[in-house]
Amino acid sequence: MSDQVSKPQPGDRYNGDMGTSTQEENGRLAARVLDNGLKVLVQEEHTAPLASVWCWYKVGSKDEAPGLTGVSHWVEHMNFKGTKNIPRDQVKGIIEQFGGSWNGYTWIDQTTYLETATHDALDRMLFIESERMASCLYDPEDCESERTVIISELQGGENDPDQLLDTEVTAAAFKAHPYGHPTIGWLSDLERMTRDELYGYYRRYYVPNNATLVVVGDLEADDVFRAAERHFGAIQPGTVPPRVYTKEPAQIGERRVTVSREGTTSYLKVAYHAPAAAEADFVPMLLIDAVLAGAKGANLWAGFRTPPPQRSARLYRALVDSRLASAVGGAILPTQDPFLYAISVTVAEGVALATVEQAAIEQLDRLGREGVTEQELAKAQRQLGARLVFENDSITNIAHQIGFFETIATVDVYRDLPSRIADVSLDQVNGAAAKYLRPTNRTIGWFEPVPPGSGAPVTADEPPTSGPTSEAR
Amino acid sequence: MTTAVHQGLAPTRESLSNGAVILAKETHTTPAVAFSATFRAGSIYDPPGCVGLAHFLSRVIDRGTATRSADDIAEALDGRGVSLMVVATRQVMTLACICLAEDFDAMLELVADVCMHPTFPDREIETRRREIVTSIRQDEDNPAVMAVEGLMGVLYPDGHPYGQRTRGSIATVEAIGRSELQGFHARTFSPSALSLVVVGDVVASRAIEQAAHVFGGWNGPPTPPAAVPDPPAAGGRRQVVTPMMNKVQADVAYGFVTIARSDPSYYPFLLMNNVLGQYALGGRLGDSIRERQGMAYYVFSAFDANVGRGPLVIRAGVNPRNVDRAIASIDEELRRLAADGVTARELAESKQYLVGSMPRTLETNAGIGAFLQNVEYFGLGLDYDVRLPRLINDVTLEQVNEQARRYLAPERAALSIAGPYEGVRESRD
* Whether residue B251 sits in one domain with residue B206: no
- B339 in a domain, yes or no? yes
Count contacts between A and B (CB, < 8 Å): 268
pLDDT at A303 over 90: no
Interchain CB distance below 8 Å, A17 and B4: yes
Average pLDDT over residues B41-59: 96
Q: How close is the nearest chain B Cα to the Cα of A202, in Å?
A: 21
Residue B210 and residue B354 in one domain: no
Domain that holds residue A207: 23-232
Whether B246 sits inside 8 A of A147 (CB atoms) is no
User: Above 90 in pLDDT, residue A302?
Assistant: no
The reply to whether B225 falls in a domain is: no
Residues A311 and A426 in one domain: yes
Do the Cβ atoms of A5 and A123 come closer than 8 Å?
Answer: yes
Question: B278 and B407: one domain?
Answer: yes
In this prediction, residues B161-178 reach a mean pLDDT of: 97
- What is the pLDDT at residue A309? 96
Final residue of a structural domain among A197, A232, A267: A232
Domain match, A208 and A293 both: no
DSSP B135: H
Which residues 183-202 of chain B have a CB within 8 Å of chain A? none
Q: Which of residues 199-228 of A touch B (CB under 8 A)?
A: 218, 220
DSSP assignment letter at B306: B
d(CA A198, CA A181): 18
The mean pLDDT value for B410-417 works out to 98
Q: Testing the interface with A: which of B33, B71, B130, B139 to mutate, by most A Cβ within 10 A? A: B130
Residue A431 predicted with pLDDT over 70: yes
How many CA atoms lie less than 13 Å away from B275 in the CB half-sphere?
27
In a domain, B6, yes or no: no
The A residues from 422 to 451 touching B (CB cutoff 8 Å) are none
Kindly list the residues from chain B whose CB atom is less than 8 angstroms away from the CB atom of residue A159: 142-144, 247-249, 419
Residue B26's alpha-carbon distances to A24, A51, B215, B368, in angstroms, are 16, 22, 20, 10
Please answer whether residues A117 and A101 qualify as being in contact, where contact means their C-beta atoms are separated by less than 8 angstroms.
Answer: yes
The domain spanning residue B352 has which CATH number? 3.30.830.10
Mean pLDDT of chain B: 94
Residue A458 pLDDT > 70: no
* SS3 at position A61: helix
Same domain, A335 and A462: yes
* Boundary residue ending a domain (A176, A201, A232): A232
| Contact present, A126 and A227 (Cβ < 8 Å) | yes
A311 near A414, Cβ under 8 Å?
Answer: no
Strand partners, A415: none
Residues near B374 by beta carbon (within 8 Å), at least 6 away in sequence: B380
Nearest-neighbour CA in chain A from B235: distance (Å):
33
Distance in angstroms (rounded) separating the CA atoms of residues A161 and A449 = 9
Note whether residue A10 is domain-resident. Answer: no
Query: Mean of the pLDDT values across residues A393-418?
Result: 96
Does residue B47 share a domain with residue B179? yes
The length of chain A is 473
Contact present, B355 and B392 (Cβ < 8 Å) = yes
Note whether B122 contacts A: Cβ–Cβ < 8 A: no
The phi, psi pair for A220, rounded to 5°, reads: -95, 135
Same domain, B109 and B247: no
**Residues whose CB falls within 8 Å of the CB of residue B390, separated by 6 or more in sequence, listed in order:** none
Q: Which of A294, A326, A460 minimises the CB distance to B131?
A: A326
B residues 378..397 contacting A (CB < 8 A): 385-386, 388-389, 393
The alpha-carbon radius of gyration of chain A (Å, integer) is 23
Query: pTM score, two decimals?
Result: 0.93
Task: Verify whether the Cβ–Cβ distance B319 to A308 is below 8 Å.
Answer: no
| HSE-up of residue B388 (Cα within 13 Å, Cβ side) | 29
pLDDT band at A451 (very low <50, low <70, confident <90, very high): confident
pLDDT digits (tens, 9 = 90+) for A74-95: 999 999 999 999 998 888 899 9
Note whether A179 and A282 are same-domain residues.
no
The larger pLDDT score, comparing residue A471 to residue A207, is at A207
Q: Determine the Cα–Cα distance for residues B392 and B349; give it in Å rounded to an integer.
A: 12
Model confidence at B3, in pLDDT bands (50, 70, 90)? very low
Residue B408 CB coordination number (10 Å): 23
Instruction: Let me know whether B158 and B248 are in one domain.
Output: no
pLDDT at A465 over 70: no
Phi-psi region of A158 (alpha: psi -120 to 50; beta: other; left: phi over 0): alpha
Which residue among A294, A295, A349 places its CB closest to the CB of B134? A349
Q: Decide: B392 and A151 in contact? Cβ < 8 Å.
A: no
Q: What is the DSSP string of B322-336?
A: GHHHHHHHHHHHHHH
Report chain B's C-alpha Rg in angstroms: 23
Confidence of residue B427 (pLDDT cuts 50, 70, 90): very low
Q: Give residue B338's domain range.
A: 238-428
Residue B238: which H helix or E strand, with range? strand B238-243
Does a structural domain hold residue B230?
A: no
Please state the rounded mean pLDDT for residues A46-67.
96
Residue A373 has pLDDT above 50, yes or no: yes
**What is the sign, positive or negative, of the torsion defined by CA atoms of B325, B330, B331, B336?**
positive
Query: What's the number of domains chain B is made of?
Result: 2
Q: How many domains does chain A have?
A: 2
Mean pLDDT of B378-398: 97
Helix (H, G, I), strand (E, B) or coil at A48: coil
Q: Establish if B16 belongs to a structural domain.
A: yes
Phi, psi (degrees; rounded to nearest 5) at A114: -145, 155
**Run of H or E residues at B188:** helix B178-188
Contact call for residues A102 and A40 (beta carbons, < 8 A) = no
Tell which of B181, B215, B249 closes a domain.
B215
Same-domain check for residues A362 and A269: yes
Residue A246 placed within a domain: no
Report the chain B residue with the minimal C-alpha distance to residue A385: B81
Give the minimum alpha-carbon distance from A365 to chain B in angstroms, rounded to a whole number. Answer: 23
Domain membership of residue A126 (yes or no) is yes
Helix/strand/coil for B345:
helix
- With an 8 Å Cβ cutoff, is A49 touching chain B? yes
Q: Which of A117, A326, A395 sits opposite B134 (nearest CB)?
A: A326
Range with lowest mean pLDDT among A20-34, A362-376, B199-213: A20-34
Scan residues 1-20 of B and list those with Cβ closer than 8 Å to A: 1-9
Residue A461 binned pLDDT confidence (cut-offs 50, 70, 90): very low
- Judge: A348–B130 Cβ closer than 8 Å, yes or no: yes
To probe the interface with A, which of B2, B3, B5 has the most A CB atoms within 10 Å? B2
Indicate the average pLDDT of chain A: 91
Dist. CA B262–CA B302, nearest whole Å: 18
Residue A332 and residue A339: Cα distance in Å, rounded?
8
Q: pLDDT digits over B130-153, tens only?
A: 999 999 999 999 999 999 999 999
Judged on CB neighbours under 10 Å (0-12, 13-18, 19+), B42 is buried
CATH number of the domain bearing residue A187: 3.30.830.10
At residue B424, the pLDDT reads 55
pLDDT of residue B220: 87
A463 within 8 A of A182, measured Cβ to Cβ: yes
Which pLDDT band, with edges at 50, 70 and 90, does A7 fall under? very low
Contacts of B79 in chain A (CB under 8 A): 312, 379, 382-383
Interface contact A161, partner B, CB < 8 A: yes
pLDDT in the model for residue A454: 66
Query: Nearest CA to A59 among A409, A408, A467, A414?
Result: A408
Cβ contact B28–A99 (<8 Å): no
Answer yes or no: is A48 within a domain.
Answer: yes
Residue B308 to residue B147: CA distance in whole angstroms: 22
What is the predicted pLDDT for the residue at A281? 98
Same domain, A292 and A165: no
Mean pLDDT, residues A331-350 taken together: 97
In a domain, A17, yes or no: no
- Given a cut of 90, whether residue A456 has pLDDT beyond it is no
Task: Yes or no: say if B404 and B288 are a contact pair by the CB < 8 Å rule.
Answer: no
Of the candidate ranges A458-462, B36-40, B139-143, B334-338, the one whose mean pLDDT is the lowest: A458-462
pLDDT at B235: 81
Does the beta-carbon distance from A387 to B137 stay under 8 Å?
no
CB spacing of A16 vs B419 below 8 angstroms: no
- 3-class SS letters over A240-295: CCCCCCCCCCCCCCCEEEEEEEECCCCEEEEEEECCCCCCCCHHHHHHHHHHHHCC
Q: What mean pLDDT comes out for the span A93-119? A: 95
Grouping H, G, I as helix, E, B as strand and the rest as coil, residue A111 is strand
Q: Provide the shortest C-alpha distance from residue B215 to chain A (in Å).
A: 25
Query: Looking at the complex, does the CB of residue A151 fall below 8 Å from at least one CB of chain B?
Result: yes
Per cent of chain A over pLDDT 90 is 86
Check CB contact under 8 Å for B30 and A20: no
For residue A421, the chain B residues in CB contact (below 8 A) are none
Q: What is the mean pLDDT of residues A284-305?
A: 91
If we measure between CA atoms, which residue out of B192, B10, B2, B145 comes closest to residue A21? B2
* Amino acid letter, A246: T
Which residues of chain B have a CB within 8 Å of the CB of A329? none
Q: Give yes or no: residues A281 and A159 share one domain.
A: no
Distance from CA of A145 to the nearest CA of B (A): 5
Give the sheet arrangement for strand B250-257, strand by strand: B296-303, B311-318, B250-257, B414-419, B238-243, B426-428
A16/B293 CB distance under 8 A: no
Q: What is the pLDDT of residue B5?
A: 42
Nearby residues of B230 by Cβ (< 8 Å), 6 or more positions away? B308, B309
Residue B104 and residue A330 in contact, taking contact as beta carbons nearer than 8 Å: no
* A3 within some domain: no
A393 CB within 8 Å of a chain B CB: yes
pLDDT exceeding 90 applies to what percent of chain B?
92
A271 in the same domain as A187:
no
What is the rounded CA–CA span in Å between residue B290 and residue B259?
Answer: 28
Question: Is B2 a member of any domain?
Answer: no
**Whether residues B155 and B290 fall in one domain:** no
The answer, yes or no, to whether residue B403 has pLDDT greater than 90, is yes
For residue A10, name the pLDDT band (cuts at 50, 70, 90): very low
Give the pLDDT confidence score for residue A2 in this predicted structure: 38
- Tell whether B175 and B297 lie within a shared domain: no
- Assess B57–A contact: CB distance below 8 Å, yes or no: no
Are A386 and A312 members of one domain?
yes
pLDDT, tens digit, 9 for 90 and up, residues A141-198: 999 999 999 999 999 999 999 999 999 999 999 999 999 999 999 999 999 999 999 9
The residue type found at B123 is: R
Of A99, A147, A390, the CB nearest to B356: A99
Partnered with residue B414 across adjacent β-strands are B238, B255
Contact A393 B385 (CB under 8 A): no
- Whether residues B118 and B262 share a domain: the answer is no
State residue B213's pLDDT score: 97
Clarify whether residues A271 and A128 are in a common domain.
no
* Pair B40, B115 in one domain: yes
Give A327's contacts in chain B (Cβ within 8 Å).
131
**Same domain as A224, residue A167:** yes
Residues 370-389 of A with CB under 8 A from B: 379, 382-387, 389
C-alpha distances (whole Å) from B57 to each of A321, A323, B183 are 17, 18, 10
Kindly tell me if the per-residue pLDDT of B6 is higher than 80.
Answer: no
> Residue B294: inside a domain, yes or no?
yes
Which residue spans within B292-387 are E strands per DSSP? 296-303, 311-318
Query: What is the chain B residue with the closest CA to A376?
Result: B79
Shortest Cα distance, chain B CAs vs residue A252, angstroms: 35
pLDDT at A4 over 60: no
B61 and B197, same structural domain?
yes
Task: Give the amino acid at A10.
Answer: P
What number is the ipTM of this complex? 0.94
Distance from the Cα of A353 to chain B's closest Cα (Å) equals: 14
Query: Is residue B228 in some structural domain?
Result: no
- What's the rounded mean pLDDT across residues A227-246? 96
Chain B nearest C-alpha distance from A227 (Å): 18
pLDDT digits (tens, 9 = 90+) for A248-280: 999 999 999 999 999 999 999 999 999 999 999
B147 and B17 fall within a common domain: yes
| Beta carbons of A348 and B249 less than 8 Å apart | no
A200 and A260 belong to one structural domain: no
Q: Which residues of B touch A216 (CB under 8 A)?
A: none
